[in-house]
Amino acid sequence: MKVLVVGNGGREHAIAWKLRQSPLISKLYCAQGNAGIWKIAERVDIPPTEVEALADFALKEGIDFTVVGPEAPLVKGIVDEFEKRGLKIFGPSQEASQLEGSKAFAKNFMEKHGVPTAHYSVFDNFDRAVRYLKDVGTPIVIKADGLAAGKGAVVSFSLDHALHTLEGFMKKSALGGAGRRVVIEEFLEGEEASYIVMVNGDRYVPLPTSQDHKRLLDGDRGPNTGGMGAYSPTPVIDKYMEGRIREEVIERTLKGLKEEGIYFRGFLYAGLMITSEGPKVLEFNVRLGDPEAQPILMRVKNDFLRTLLEFYEGKEVSIEEDHRWSLDVVLASKGYPEKPEKGKVIEGLEEVEDLSDVVVFHAGTTLKDGKVVTNGGRVLNVCAYGDTLKEAKDRAYKAVSRIRFEGMQYRKDIGDKAFRYLG
Ligand code: AMP
Ligand code: GLY
């Protein structure tokens, strides 16, 4: 069958890599892809948010199944557009995508349906928001309502910083309008982890657990990014905690969606803070995480295309997990996340791609004069398997040491938080 993957990043490379292993595939396409994806899928030169043009292409080309990577096309209604034309696509509708597309919607939904999350208030009015901030004090978290590519949440430990952030979001449109409405919420202490499930209405199937590293620098310092590395599984979510997450977060959410008359089919990602009181939702995403998808899909042993298709059709499926650990180190460009440099030649890739138990997923890469060059903030995901987390980490960093491009930056401590739990 003909399959289309929508998206350009490391997550989409991992999705394409995993789907490609299925014997059901006759041809794999990706819109628009990157230098790594173009090696395993046919390049479709339509941007992921051009949802009508993508549907035209899928009809013309006879695409049998489409899998959407990023949030922007989902929030724009790609699933509604494809379904209107009778095309099979895995992802939530525009209405269901509000769980990610609007923080205010997600917070109100969680409050209404008893899903544990930080206390919060929503503001459209700047002066009221300022008064509230002065009342409640710090530490405090300010979040833009709309999509902001990982830059929409700011933790403030001083009132000055909080007021400055608020002004940037609401008055100066620092995020191009995404921050005109803000959510101000209680600061939660604990350990973060990602819990992602595949959903089809009432039914859901958990994927392996993982932990992202959102801050730019070692020791969780520096600005928030889309994610600088991840590993799977995470000991932060043990069996007991997983039971609580399923019951208090996932099942309450699915029940709430049903009560609201919203049909959800796709990946549902709960970004969690594991606090002393239990799991609390920091954010919902309506897709796989990036970089979490990379180590997660490395550990899925199923014929993932077959599993997705059967699940899409309403059948019972289960995920078989590889016993090994997987770990992903993101290599980013100089200037990321603010103003990443582009166009730098990447060296050492061929050497690393041949290593056993190492997989390199491309993110912001493209081809120029036959060479692979950087083309965005997050450039490569250097991933490895290991029988222990330490082995996966050592193997990934050994591979990283062989790759070079001008201005390359990465965290040296991916996975380290897990060692506290592993002893
Ligand atoms: P979000 O986009 O909502 O996931 O937030 C991005 C990052 O900000 C999270 O991964 C956390 O590190 C941090 N963060 C968000 N909300 C809170 C909160 N209520 N308390 C503490 N940290 C938070
Ligand atoms: N890694 C966080 C996200 O995908 O939103």
Residues of the chain with pLDDT under 70: 149-151, 174-179
Instruction: Locate 52 and state its tokens.
Output: 């009508």
Report d(CA 423, CA 418) in Å as an integer. Answer: 9
135 alpha carbon to ligand 2 midpoint, in Å? 31
90 alpha carbon to ligand 1 midpoint, in Å? 27
Report d(CA 151, CA 328) in Å as an integer. Answer: 21
Helical packing angle, 10-20 and 304-312, nearest 10°: 100
* 143 CB within 6 A, ligand 1: yes
Spell out the domain ranges in the chain.
2-93, 125-180, 191-312, 325-422
Q: Residue 9's pLDDT is what?
A: 97
* 290 CB within 6 A, ligand 2: yes
- Furthest-apart CA atoms within the chain: distance in Å: 61
Cross-sheet strand order for the sheet of 229-232? 211-212, 229-232, 325-332, 378-386, 358-362
Instruction: Locate 304 and state its tokens.
Output: 């993932």
Among 196, 290, 294, name the best residue to mutate to test ligand 2's pocket (greatest count of ligand atoms within 8 A of Cβ).
Answer: 290
How, if at all, do strands 278-285 and 203-206 pair? unpaired
Choose among 376, 417, 381: nearest CA to 396.
381
Instruction: Locate 140 and state its tokens.
Output: 């405090």
Ligand closest to CA 119: 1
Top-level class of domain 125-180? alpha beta
Query: Where are the strands (E) in 128-264, listed by range?
Result: 140-144, 153-156, 182-186, 191-200, 203-206, 211-212, 215-217, 221-224, 229-232
Q: Which tens digits make up the pLDDT trace of 401-418? A: 999 999 999 999 999 999
Q: Which tens digits make up the pLDDT trace of 296-342? A: 999 999 999 999 999 999 999 999 999 999 999 999 999 999 999 99
Report d(CA 249, CA 195) in Å as an integer. Answer: 10
CA atoms within a 13 Å half-sphere pointing along the CA-CB vector of 206: 18
Name the residue with the closest Cα to ligand 2, atom 3. Answer: 289
pTM score:
0.95
The listed CATH number (3.40.50.620, 3.40.50.20, 3.30.200.20, 3.40.630.10) that belongs to domain 2-93: 3.40.50.20
* Chain Cα centroid distance, residue 276: 25
Top-level class of domain 191-312? alpha beta
* 100 CB within 6 A, ligand 2: no
Report d(CA 210, CA 196) in Å as an integer. Answer: 9
- Is the distance from CB of 363 to CB of 69 less than 8 angstroms? no
What's domain 325-422's superfamily in CATH? Phosphoribosylglycinamide synthetase, C-terminal domain (3.90.600.10)
Instruction: Locate 247 and state its tokens.
Output: 């019951």
Nearest-5° Cα angle at 394, 392 to 399: 95
Contacts of 216 (CB under 8 A, 6+ apart): 222, 223, 224, 225, 228, 332, 336, 337, 409, 411
